[in-house]
A and B are shown apart, each in its own frame.
Chain A
């Protein structure tokens, strides 16, 4: 069997997620509910890499990325596992060292959250946000800082005058760019972005994608990037991970995953992409996405999987190396990409 995975050099890994489980645990008037939104995820991200996470709505993409960013609030809690960054040779345990984590924010690590239209304080001018988030990391005088921010905005295609506006005076696209500017102004080593382009129209979306790619190349940062839009992944991600029902089911270099999906769910995602000149209607996946409060036994995909066998109902397939990536399926590789 071909094994194309390069043995990772220790210092080349910026992020290591191991056996991560994060659940929404709710208890209200005696009714307990546990939503297993992140269930045993292990992944590594290298320096200078854009790692894309794909999956249908409610599969737990945001929950995963929030947990990685250390951005969880109750009822979401980490139940097991660890998230560790490596910034300049120093390991930072996100859930082990809250104080150091606080120091690393924006300096080393920034986060663009889903629906980030509303991350700017509605009653203060935009410039204050830059000052509050970035000033103390830059070691510049007020004047130099302002100049630096203006220069950064220009590069991103924003008029520096937006600094003097209130958020409600700006369009959605401008606000989205601003949050990207805010997340990149300190030139962090690692950027976590949750659907930064979903709310935008296609043209702006192209711009923003090019922008992210440009920033990443210029600054040499790593990016972990969530979107359910596979075409966006094709355009920007170096590697992608497919999430289904809180689990990572497949992962590999983008091109390989698109050309030779190993997991039936991935195959479905790719097959359902519209193609030029193709007029046949794509088949929809039968069945509903699983309820994460009460997920199916065994492989969580089995109720909807065209290849399911008896074993799938009882045994949870482990995520194993295969070809250039990893896949969790008892019948991995048996799919033929449409």
Chain B
């Protein structure tokens, strides 16, 4: 248990460090800006006509208060931590006076749902195909699908999504290309609503799957083709163990462990892909919220989403780290 305890302490330390550095980084970036967010917001608002200089001055005060931009740098920094810990980033400017946090909370299920589903499909399919391709090296079908997957792999999410959107939205318009569900349907456990959810989620999920599957496929295939030459596999083959058993218990099982670590490391990237995909398909998740926030100059929204996504990714990584020892006996038993 000693090794396991050590592992846990390390992971926990890493978790807090990621959050500490991530949140601090977000703070520092806002401070490095040559643009004053208050001035920016003020000019944005005065564009709509409110030009009374006294009102502007009041607004300036209020915004400084709101954004936590009063006092010394240290005070502002500590204040920022206070906001993060309370989950209070003030009201959104673009959807005034809705608090940023409640915007995030209502967008979060969409993103988590879409990402979890896409990630499970991507990881399972990519690893399965990769493992098969690494084990049955001479299978033509696997070689072909491998080539297709590898060719897609370097293409950025936006381009893949755009091609899918053109293909299934314009050239052969069979799938909805915008939104999370049909507008006029009430969220409910009804057949219609769920059907609409699935249809709307198909293209975004497919985009994420196509974007992500390549790296799993490639790394799994190379892991497996290395494991295949390991002594324990060669020996099992000599022992006449059936090839399906060797594949599942001697090869794939061993290769899945490092792939699980890879899952934790990839989450940051996957989230990035989700931001782009959500925006492209106008999917009502956190990513779309972020990009809309940028277009609308909504300081508190952008800062809130960025900070929360850093925290959320760190939590997800930590959860995977906690699951890992349950699966790898070498960590569990030190």
- The answer on direct contact between A and B (beta carbons under 8 Å) is yes
Chain A positions within 8 Å of B, measured between CB atoms, are 69-71, 73, 102-103, 105-106, 110-111, 113, 115-116, 118-124, 128, 132-133, 166, 168-169
**Which of chain B's residues have a CB closer than 8 A to the CB of A133?**
236, 239-241
User: B250 contacts which chain A residues (CB < 8 A)?
Assistant: 121
A70 and B237 CA atoms in complex are apart in Å by 11
A144 to chain B, nearest CB (A): 20
- Tell me whether B254 is interfacial, beta carbon within 8 Å: yes
Is there an interface contact between A111 and B253, defined as CB atoms closer than 8 Å? no
Interface residue ranges of B223-240 to A (CB < 8 Å) = 229-232, 234-236, 238-240
Q: Is A121 a contact partner of B249 (Cβ separation < 8 A)?
A: yes
Q: Do A124 and B253 have beta carbons less than 8 Å apart?
A: yes
* Nearest B residue (CB) for A136: B240
A123 engages B253 (CB within 8 Å)? yes
Q: Would B232 and A106 count as touching, CB distance under 8 A?
A: no
Count B-side interface residues using an 8 Å CB cutoff: 21
Nearest opposing residue in chain B for A183, CB measure: B239
B247-273 vs A, CB cutoff 8 Å, 1 = contact: the mask equals 001100110010000000000000000
List B contacts of A122 (CB < 8 A).
232, 254, 330
Known: A116-B231, A118-B230. A123 touches B328 (CB 8 A): yes
With an 8 A cutoff between CB atoms, is B53 at the interface? no
Distance in Å from the Cβ of A47 to the closest Cβ of chain B? 22
Min C-beta distance of B252 to chain A, whole Å: 11
Q: B329, A166: Cβ atoms under 8 Å?
A: yes
Contact A120 B232 (CB under 8 A): yes
CB distance from A162 to the nearest CB of B (A): 14
Contact: B230 with A105, CB < 8 Å?
Answer: no
- Nearest-neighbor residue (CB-CB) of A186 within chain B: B239
Q: In whole angstroms, what is the CA distance A298 to B245 when docked? A: 48
A132–B239 touching, CB < 8 Å? yes
Add 9 more A-B contacts to A113-B235, A123-B254, A128-B249 (CB < 8 A).
Answer: A70-B238, A113-B238, A118-B231, A123-B330, A132-B241, A132-B245, A132-B249, A133-B241, A166-B329
Chain B: minimal CB distance from A96 (Å):
17
Give Cα A122 to B156, complex, Å. Answer: 38
CB pairs A–B below 8 angstroms (5 shown): A119-B231, A121-B236, A122-B254, A133-B240, A166-B330
Chain A residues near B249 (CB, 8 Å)?
121, 124, 128, 132
Identify the 6 closest CB pairs spanning chains A and B, nearest first: A105-B240, A119-B235, A133-B239, A118-B231, A121-B232, A132-B241
Which residue, of B231, B240, B245, has the highest number of chain A Cβ atoms within 10 A? B240
Q: Is the CB of B330 within 8 A of A132?
A: no
Complex interface residues of chain B between 198 and 214 (CB less than 8 A to chain A): none
Tell me if A71 and B329 are in contact (CB < 8 A): no
Which residues of A are found within 8 Å of B234, using beta-carbon distances?
71, 73, 113
A70: chain B residues at CB < 8 Å are 238
Asked if residues B240 and A106 are in contact (CB atoms below 8 Å), the reply is yes
Contacts of B238 in A (CB 8 A): 69-71, 105, 111, 113
8 Å CB interface, B306-334 against A? 328-330, 333
A115: chain B residues within 8 A (beta carbon): 231
- B333 and A169 within 8 A (CB): yes
Nearest CB of B to A43, in Å: 21
B240 touches A103 (CB 8 A): yes
Task: Across the interface, name the chain B residue whose C-beta is closest to A119.
Answer: B235
Minimum distance in angstroms from A70 CB to a CB of chain B: 8
Q: For residue B240, which residues in chain A have a CB less than 8 angstroms away from its CB?
A: 102-103, 105-106, 133
Query: Once the chains are docked, how many angstroms separate the CA of A124 from the CA of B238?
Result: 18
Residues of B within 8 A of A71 (CB): 234, 238
Q: Would you give the shortest CB distance from B233 to chain A, in whole angstroms?
A: 8
In the complex, the answer to whether A123 meets B329 with C-beta atoms within 8 Å is yes
Beta-carbon contacts of B131-144 to A below 8 Å, as 1s and 0s? Answer: 00000000000000
Docked Cα-Cα span, A27 to B93, in Å, equals 67
Contacts of B245 in A (CB 8 A): 132
Minimal Cβ-Cβ distance residue in B for A121? B232
Q: Which A residues lie within 8 Å of B330 (CB)? A: 122-123, 166, 168
- Nearest to B328 among chain A residues (CB) is A123
Chain A residues within 8 Å of B229, by CB: 73
> What residues on B are CB-neighbors of A166 within 8 Å?
329-330, 333
Interface hub of B234, B254, B329 (most chain A Cβ within 10 A): B329
A118 contacts B239, C-beta separation under 8 Å: no
In the complex, per-residue mask of B157-174: 1 if CB is within 8 Å of any chain A CB, else 0: 000000000000000000
**How many angstroms from the CA of A70 to the CA of B333 in the assembled complex?**
36
**C-alpha gap A132/B237 in the complex (Å):** 11
Query: How distant is the Cα of A69 from the Cα of B237 in the complex, in angstroms?
Result: 12
Q: Give the complex CA separation of A166 and B329 in angstroms.
A: 8
Which residue in chain A gives the minimum CB-CB distance to B240?
A105
Whether A106 contacts B254 in the complex (CB less than 8 A), given A73-B229, A122-B232, A166-B330, comes out as no
Residue-by-residue, is B76-108 near A (CB-CB < 8 Å gives 1, otherwise 0)? Answer: 000000000000000000000000000000000
| B-side contacts of A105, CB under 8 Å | 238-240
Q: Complex: how many Å from CA A168 to CA B245?
A: 22
Question: Inside 8 A of B257's CB, which chain A residues have their CB?
Answer: 123
Question: Which single residue of chain B is at the shortest CB-CB distance from A101?
Answer: B240
Q: How far is the CA of A128 from the CA of B257 in the complex (A)?
A: 19
Residues on B with beta carbons closer than 8 Å to the beta carbon of A169: 333
Which residues of chain A have C-beta atoms less than 8 A from B230's C-beta? Answer: 118
The chain A residue sitting closest to B332, CB to CB, is: A166
For B241, list chain A residues within 8 Å (CB): 132-133
Taking a contact as CB atoms under 8 Å apart, the answer to whether B231 and A106 are in contact is no
Q: In the complex, which residues of chain B have a beta carbon less than 8 angstroms from the beta carbon of A123? A: 253-254, 257, 328-330
Within 8 A of A (CB), among B171-215: none
Chain A's nearest CB lies how many Å from the CB of B131?
15
Complex: chain B residue closest to A165, CB-CB? B333
Question: What distance in Å separates the Cβ of A125 from its nearest Cβ neighbour in chain B?
Answer: 8
Q: How many angstroms between the C-alpha atoms of A113 and B333 in the bound complex?
A: 27
